[in-house]
Copies of this chain bind each other. A is one copy, B any other.
Amino acid sequence: MSSPPGHERWSIAEGYIPETGTGPEPEMTSHETVCILNAGEEDANVTLTLYFADRDPAGPYRLTVPARRTLHQRFNDLDDPERVPRGADYACVLESDRPVVVQHTRLDSRQAENALLTTMASPG
């Protein structure tokens, strides 16, 4: 592969972790996930910054995506420097020192049957 696919900055405007869920835990817990692919030959050092409606941003959250690996990180599980609030709108900017590909997914299990959404993040 000449140069690895992707970009060094990506943004997600929609973020929302529902406060409640149904179904077996933890697979069916309502959650949002940032899926990061590092197809390159060097580890990618990634930071996430979270933006909110009515307070200052949180972060940086630091992640490493090893070379030739993918990391599907639940926002629910981020807790350093702080936990992501439930039931609150947020958005996210991801910055990496290597090109990565970023996709965003939500499983919403507030009602008996789950719902899914996904989109590629916005590059650049």
List A residues at the B interface (Cβ < 8 Å). Answer: 1, 5-6, 9-16, 23, 28, 33, 35-39, 49, 51-54, 56-57, 68-72, 89-91, 93, 101-103, 105-106, 108, 110-124
Q: How many copies does the complex hold?
A: 4
List the B side residues contacting A123 at CB < 8 Å. Answer: 122
Contacts of A113 in B (CB 8 A): 111-113, 115
Assess the B5–A124 pair: CB atoms within 8 A.
yes
Also in contact, A11 and B101, with CB within 8 A (given A51-B68, A53-B69, A90-B70) = yes
Chain A at the B interface: SS class:
strand
A113 to B12, CA, bound (A): 26
Give Cα A22–Cα B70 distance, bound, in whole angstroms: 28
